[in-house]
A and B are shown apart, each in its own frame.
Chain A
Amino acid sequence: MNPVNYLYLAALLFTIGATGVLIRRNAIVVFMCIELMLNACNLAFVVFSRMHGNLDGQIIAFFTMVVAAAEVVVGLAIIVSLFRSRHSASVDDASLMKL
């Protein structure tokens, strides 16, 4: 199968993720969309690794997974404490820092 199709898939996933980040208000969903974008990138890395015949892309995909795991820990903690204090997970409600 042509590896370029995987790249199309990665672009599609990334676009869905980005769109989700921009249009959804629920912090959990936004978070999930970010994960989606990260994984779209991982997919692209792996595909490129395969296309170029070396392992660099796959190593970076592992790195990304580690960072994403750490990020999930921190991000979820923030969202939970935000929800506890405001009883809402809407990102638009957390706009206290505007002028």
Chain B
Amino acid sequence: MENLIALLIAAPLLGAAVLLVGGRRLDAVGHWIGTVLAAASFAVGVVLFTDLLGRSAQDRTLTQHLYSWIPVEGFQADVAFRLDQLSMTFVLLITGVGSLIHLYSIGYMEHDERRRRFFGYLNLFLAAMLLLVLADNYLLLYVGWEGVGLASYLLIGFWQHKPSAATAAKKAFLVNRVGDMGLSIAIMLMFTTFGTFAFGPVLGSQEHPGLAGDATGGKLTAIALMLLLAACGKSAQVPLQSWLGDAMEGPTPVSALIHAATMVTAGVYLIVRSAAIFNGSPDAQLVVTVVGAVTLLFGAIVGCAKDDIKKALAGSTMSQIGYMVLAAGLGPIGYVFAIMHLVTHGFFKAGLFLGAGSVMHGMNDEVDMRKYGGLRKYMPVTFATFSLGYLAIIGFPGLSGFFSKDKIIEAAFAKGGTEGWILGGAALLGAAVTAFYMTRVMLMTFFGEKRWQPDEHGHEPHPHESPRSMTIPMIVLAFGSVFAGGLFSIGDRFLNWLEPVTGHAEGDSPLSPMAVTLITTALLVVGVALAYAQYGRRPVPVVAPRGSLLTRAARRDLYQDDFNHVVLVRGGEHLTRSLVYVDHTLVDGVVNGTAASVGGLSGRLRRLQNGFARSYAVSMFGGAALLVAATLLMRAV
């Protein structure tokens, strides 16, 4: 069975290689090659999953050693994979949702002449992400990490003829580099502290704590914080969140892939995988929870103000990932729920994005929700699946989001003390805001009167349902959004599945689970009601009103770009400018000054060589006189 693990990665990697090297002769079948290979990877995942289920809980870690990558004395890096419950969960999510998105893209990208290349990139994305979650040491994980960064760059900037897409891709790449630097520093620190970066020795297992368990505070905290920085970059957490909104420039399936199955989940994976390191450093955990809480509110507020349907959903992703990071920062109380929310979120967020893509597909790629309205009549399937995703994300009782998000809120309260109240309060507030912005998206898109107008060429959009290849993935994902949460939670199945890897602890919460559920549901109703009062009962203006101070701030992503511009860009410019100044004046000054003074001196000395014998004679006499004088002087002294 172990030998199948490499196949998981090999299938999409082969697809990427064939599609990108194969050239135009594969244009006709390229999308099918990509989809079939993604699905093949999923099939292998299912086989491995059933195999794992057949084993006892302690025996569910499979490892495959492919070859020694860097066999140097004292520095051993192997290409080795580890498949345990945690990576299995990710494999199924990545390949499952990934395959659905592949299928969807066949219809969505039908009119794009570079569709084959698109599928090549999608396969590359899957392969990189699978490498990331299957790696058995941090260095190999880093390779996958960088691969994800590369694939996201290629896909966000897929329509590179649009300057905005090219810029967004560059931005995503650059912001991610900051996080990547954190990961590389973490790996270096790990090597100097532990002498290795393989998962086995560093992290150990539940029964046998690894090197991280014995390490001392300061270095462990440094490693944990650097890992957090890496997670912030990939998972779009404050302060490295600014790339996510712009990443919407990519084709919609890419957004779905980035937000649901790959990329942004990598940060959460990293934190949960490195649980042994974070457990040893309460300070770092506190920072993680703060980052999560701030981001979940940040994303939610931004999501409330955006009129671009994809950007509203992007804000929502940021916020939901914030929940996961918050849960991961809570330690063993939260790890399982972070991953559970990640999986349910994978379903409903992929469904929502594919739904948004379906709406755009029918509306001539219009993204402004103020120009939608009343679409439920025209797109019944999209409406139905989107609604189920919507109910799941706001945490409607009984659907996926309800189970996973409630657990996180409970866990936040269970942290105890003032921290528990603050984090739990933030999570509750986030739930209310989530209900508000998602209801807003629903109402503006599918309800009310139609608000679309002919474009500048006089073409009026004719909203229509999307082809079967697009609706089927949406339906499958809608099923996941409805049932996944219940399936995971009833009988604590997910908890029992993941506990051997992540460990689990019960906190003692000041609020009973029932009370948390009731408060969450009450806040959910409040959020929905507020949104209905504003967008359901009154007609939605086609031109956005000026809005309050907060709305205007949120439309500009709470000034994240302005902040980055003023602090980082301008600071950087000042720094480089002063460095250039120093270079020009000081460094060049010394060099040029030396050259000029030598040149000037020799120019003056050259005049002595005038060719007249008598002037040479004067020099000789002068020199001789000086020598005599000096000799006499020395004798006198």
CA distance A98 to B613 in the complex (A): 10
Q: B613 — which chain A residues lie within 8 A by C-beta?
A: 91-92, 94-95
The answer to whether A95 touches B606, judged by C-beta atoms less than 8 angstroms apart, is no
A-B contact pairs, 5 of them (CB 8 A): A21-B614, A22-B621, A92-B612, A95-B612, A99-B609
A82, chain B: closest CB distance, angstroms:
11
The answer to whether B609 touches A92, judged by C-beta atoms less than 8 angstroms apart, is no
Whether a CB of chain B sits under 8 angstroms from the CB of A96 is yes
Q: B72 — which chain A residues lie within 8 A by C-beta?
A: none
The interface bits of chain A over 74-98 (1 if a CB of B lies within 8 angstroms of the residue's CB, else 0) are 0000000000000000011011111
CA distance A98 to B614 in the complex (A): 13
Whether a CB of chain A sits under 8 angstroms from the CB of B549 is no
Interface residues of A (CB under 8 A from B): 18, 21-23, 25, 91-92, 94-99
Give the size category of B's interface with A: 10 to 19
Q: B610 — which chain A residues lie within 8 A by C-beta?
A: 95, 98
A99 and B614 contact, Cβ closer than 8 Å, known pairs A18-B621, A22-B621: no
Q: A94 — which chain B residues lie within 8 A by C-beta?
A: 613
Residue of B at shortest CB range from A27?
Answer: B613
Whether a CB of chain A sits under 8 angstroms from the CB of B617 is yes
Interface residues of B (CB under 8 A from A): 606, 609-614, 617-618, 621
Residue of B at shortest CB range from A96?
Answer: B611
The answer to whether A97 touches B614, judged by C-beta atoms less than 8 angstroms apart, is no
Residue of A at shortest CB range from B620?
Answer: A21
The answer to whether A92 touches B606, judged by C-beta atoms less than 8 angstroms apart, is no
B186, chain A: closest CB distance, angstroms:
66
Q: B618 — which chain A residues lie within 8 A by C-beta?
A: 22
Contact of B609 (CB < 8 Å), options: A22, A23, A98: A98
CA distance A85 to B611 in the complex (A): 18
Residue of B at shortest CB range from A25?
Answer: B614
A sample of 8 more A-B contacts (CB under 8 A), given A18-B621, A95-B610, A95-B611, is A21-B617, A23-B614, A91-B613, A95-B613, A97-B611, A98-B609, A99-B606, A99-B611
The answer to whether A22 touches B617, judged by C-beta atoms less than 8 angstroms apart, is yes
CA distance A94 to B616 in the complex (A): 13
Q: A22 — which chain B residues lie within 8 A by C-beta?
A: 614, 617-618, 621
Q: B606 — which chain A residues lie within 8 A by C-beta?
A: 99
Residue of B at shortest CB range from A97?
Answer: B611
CA distance A95 to B609 in the complex (A): 10
| Residue from B609, B613, B617, B618 having most chain A Cβ neighbours under 10 A | B613
Q: B611 — which chain A residues lie within 8 A by C-beta?
A: 95-99
CA distance A26 to B441 in the complex (A): 110
Q: B617 — which chain A residues lie within 8 A by C-beta?
A: 21-22
Q: A96 — which chain B residues lie within 8 A by C-beta?
A: 611
B526, chain A: closest CB distance, angstroms:
95
B37, chain A: closest CB distance, angstroms:
79
Q: A18 — which chain B residues lie within 8 A by C-beta?
A: 621
Q: A23 — which chain B residues lie within 8 A by C-beta?
A: 614
Q: B614 — which chain A residues lie within 8 A by C-beta?
A: 21-23, 25, 91-92
Q: A95 — which chain B residues lie within 8 A by C-beta?
A: 610-613
A48, chain B: closest CB distance, angstroms:
16
Q: B612 — which chain A residues lie within 8 A by C-beta?
A: 91-92, 95, 98
Q: A98 — which chain B residues lie within 8 A by C-beta?
A: 609-612
CA distance A25 to B613 in the complex (A): 10
CA distance A23 to B606 in the complex (A): 23
Q: A21 — which chain B residues lie within 8 A by C-beta?
A: 614, 617
Residue of A at shortest CB range from B610?
Answer: A98
CA distance A92 to B613 in the complex (A): 7
Residue of A at shortest CB range from B618?
Answer: A22
Leading 10 A-B pairs by shortest Cβ distance: A98-B611, A95-B611, A91-B613, A98-B610, A95-B612, A97-B611, A21-B617, A99-B609, A92-B612, A22-B614
B621, chain A: closest CB distance, angstroms:
6
